[in-house]
Amino acid sequence: MLCLLMTLPKGSMYSVNRIGPSTEPSKVLVHGDIVPTATRNAVPCTAIGCKWPKTGRFVYVPVSIGTEYSNQERDVIINALVTFHASTCIRFVWRTSDRDFLHFFSGQGCYSYLGRQNGGQLVSLQRNGCLFQSTVQHEVLHALGFHHEQVRSDRDRHVRILTENIIPGQLNYPKHQQFGTPYDFNSVMHYGRFDFSRNGQPTILARSNPNLNFGNAFRMSPNDIARVNRLYGCCEY
């Protein structure tokens, strides 16, 4: 494996086997930022084939970053990836000849696949609009196998989904498990009250407080971190 990202000098050019924008998916994104596949657009990512493999204590995820980013923009991505190193067993490393890897590029918007795919796996972080720590963490969590917070199995006890206000095509909110952690309005994976609104009215309301503001986390919450550690068996964190 290559050196961990945190050991590499900032501001250098890192991109191996760049994947061009012509490979952007043509399908409609699920929930706005998940690229659908034949088998993994709505199911929980608990199967071995969906998760990134663990070697010893760590889960090594090879990455490459497109040359279209400036040094400062690349640093935003790198710094967000390194946050996983401090609190989980996920370790992002520079890709050399690895078959499966994440490639960060400036596509049309912010989006990712759900869980590990075969080969080079696109994570789109558009230069104007997606380069924030929270957004990078959000899309990387998708790539690690995590859905949005508001589609967890117990969501109806915590939020109301106002389907009449949601843009057509975004109504499919399947439910999934969340590894024994509580519902978290502070999760970096939670959408906001007005996301996908067709009429300017709220699409998600907290049952405990309809005026509660959420969906604006700046970073992963403790529950986000706990879920990564539980899915990947990070016993030391």
Return the domain boundaries, the chain: 5-148+224-231
* pLDDT recorded at residue 25: 56
Q: Is 148 annotated in some ligand binding site?
A: yes
List the end-to-end C-alpha distance of the chain, in Å, as a whole number.
Answer: 22
In CATH, 5-148+224-231 is 3.30.379.10: no
Better-predicted residue by pLDDT, 26 or 56: 56
Average the pLDDT over 63-78 and give the result: 98
* pLDDT surpassing 60 at residue 172: no
Average the pLDDT over 99-126 and give the result: 94
Do 23 and 29 contact (CB within 8 A), yes or no? Answer: no
Choose, from 24, 73, 139, 149, the residue flagged as catalytic. Answer: 139
Chain center to CA of 197: 22
Per-residue pLDDT tens for 72-97? 999 999 999 999 999 999 999 999 99
Q: Is 142 annotated in some ligand binding site?
A: yes
* pLDDT surpassing 90 at residue 46: no
For the chain, the average pLDDT equals 84
Do 179 and 202 contact (CB within 8 A), yes or no? Answer: no
* pLDDT recorded at residue 200: 96
Q: What is the distance between the alpha carbons of residues 104 and 89, in angstroms, rounded to a whole number? A: 21
Q: What is the distance between the alpha carbons of residues 76 and 141, in angstroms, rounded to a whole number? A: 16
* Percent of the chain predicted with pLDDT > 70: 76
**139 carries an active-site annotation:** yes
Average the pLDDT over 86-115 and give the result: 95
